[in-house]
């Protein structure tokens, strides 16, 4: 009788355990912290989830972030995104036990679907010389910075290194990506290559331009205002894209407001309810729930490997009267008083 009772208890415990939900685990729980040094230099005080003063990198690591995304421009003199500045920050990130995700813009400034300006020193090159410059630059980056993940271009929907690498010259675009890819493979085969596209419209056709050996991960930007508000459709397209191409997929950029108010005099990117999702209000809880939803989505997609939050460090560190401050302070990972927002809880493994 005693043995039967023990067996019954074991059975009951196993049944109880099996009904617990699966943990929401994703490989990448990242944040783009490209302007971390600027925030630090400003002396702006930030607080962690426990309310204690804390450095931005330290707070996010404690919250569960495991990879930091940094942009790298070709302009070596840029104090934020030049080679020396990014190299220094990369070393610190690695020393903290975090992974580094580099975004090569292949430009002296911002690159996105509407801007892919060729670096000044590459403007007069022949196409053959341009290919070699992409190869040599990428090889130097991988050799010196040793990133865990590397993007060949940023939101290259319409190509990169215009005019030679414009999408309207697909063979050129393919050759430039192949040059960057070859540089990575020949330098450090463990570095995973991301090709980054903004949104999902046209994505399958775009990725079909490249050889499967050119990259490892599909990187997609997803912002509701620009890329769609039907989350079921977004999930279906992400899943279909990764399945069709046989690749891992990551949300390479996303963000969401915790308020529609401003904390400086700089125009914000998001400022009205028609730009966001009705099921996630512009509140601290709504911001947290939005990112938690995306994390769950990527957990459920077989090839989904995670997310990266963009602009989380863009607090109003220049002061509330700045007209050249942050256009994203209402989407940051800290509130207007510098306190960590509950969205940081989503970085937990």
Q: What is the DSSP string of 256-297?
A: --S-S--SSSSPPS--SGGGS-TTS-SSHHHHHHHHHHHHHH
Q: Are 117 and 109 in contact (CB under 8 A)?
A: yes
Rounded distance between C-alpha atoms, residue 34 and residue 96, angstroms = 16
Instruction: Mark whether 300 is an active-site residue.
Output: no
Q: Which among 76, 92, 155, 329 is annotated as catalytic?
A: 155
Rounded distance between C-alpha atoms, residue 224 and residue 171, angstroms = 32
Question: H-helix or E-strand containing 14?
Answer: helix 2-18
Rounded distance between C-alpha atoms, residue 276 and residue 331, angstroms = 12
Instruction: Mark whether 76 is an active-site residue.
Output: no
Exposure on the CB side of residue 188, measured as CA atoms within 13 A: 17
Rounded distance between C-alpha atoms, residue 336 and residue 329, angstroms = 8
Nearest to 346 by CA among 275, 295, 303: 295
3-state SS class at 49: coil
Q: Which among 20, 204, 253, 329 is annotated as catalytic?
A: 253
Alpha helices by DSSP H, listed for 54-201, are 56-63, 83-95, 127-145, 170-187
Tokens 């990879």, residue located: 67
Give 320's contacts (C-beta < 8 A, 6+ positions apart): 263, 264, 265
Q: Under the phi-then-psi rule, with left for phi > 0, alpha for psi from -120 to 50, and beta for the rest, what region is 185?
A: alpha
Number of H helices, E strands in the chain: 10, 8
Catalytic residue list: 155, 253
């Amino acid at each position: 009788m005693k043995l039967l009772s023990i067996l019954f208890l074991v059975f009951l415990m196993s049944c109880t355990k099996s009904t617990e939900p699966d943990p929401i685990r994703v490989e990448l729980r990242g944040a783009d912290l490209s302007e971390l040094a600027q925030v630090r230099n400003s002396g702006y005080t930030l607080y962690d989830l426990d309310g204690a003063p804390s450095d931005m990198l330290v707070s996010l690591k404690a919250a569960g972030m495991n990879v930091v995304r940094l942009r790298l421009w070709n302009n070596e003199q840029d104090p934020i995104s030049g080679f020396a500045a990014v190299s220094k920050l990369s070393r610190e990130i690695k020393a903290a036990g975090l992974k580094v995700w580099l975004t090569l813009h292949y430009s002296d400034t911002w690159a996105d679907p509407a801007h892919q300006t060729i670096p000044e020193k590459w403007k007069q090159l022949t196409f053959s010389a341009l290919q070699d410059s992409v190869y040599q630059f990428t090889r130097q980056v991988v050799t010196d910075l040793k990133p865990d993940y590397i993007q060949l271009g940023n939101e290259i929907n319409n190509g990169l290194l215009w005019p030679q690498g414009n999408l309207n010259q697909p063979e050129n675009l393919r050759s430039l990506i192949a040059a960057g890819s070859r540089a990575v493979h020949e330098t450090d085969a463990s570095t995973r290559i991301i090709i980054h596209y903004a949104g999902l419209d046209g994505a399958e056709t775009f990725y079909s331009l490249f050889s499967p050996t050119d990259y490892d991960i599909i990187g997609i930007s997803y912002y509701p205002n620009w890329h769609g508000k039907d989350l079921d459709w977004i999930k279906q397209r992400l899943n279909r894209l990764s399945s069709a191409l046989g690749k891992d997929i990551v949300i390479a950029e996303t963000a969401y407001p915790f308020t529609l108010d401003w904390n400086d005099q700089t125009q914000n990117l998001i400022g009205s309810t028609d730009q966001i999702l009705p099921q996630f209000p512009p509140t601290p809880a709504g911001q947290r729930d939005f990112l938690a939803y995306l994390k769950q989505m990527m957990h459920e997609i077989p090839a989904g490997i995670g997310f990266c939050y963009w602009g989380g460090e863009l607090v109003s560190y220049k002061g509330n009267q700045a007209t050249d401050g942050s256009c994203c302070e209402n989407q940051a990972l800290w509130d207007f008083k510098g306190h960590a927002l509950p969205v940081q809880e989503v970085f937990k493994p």
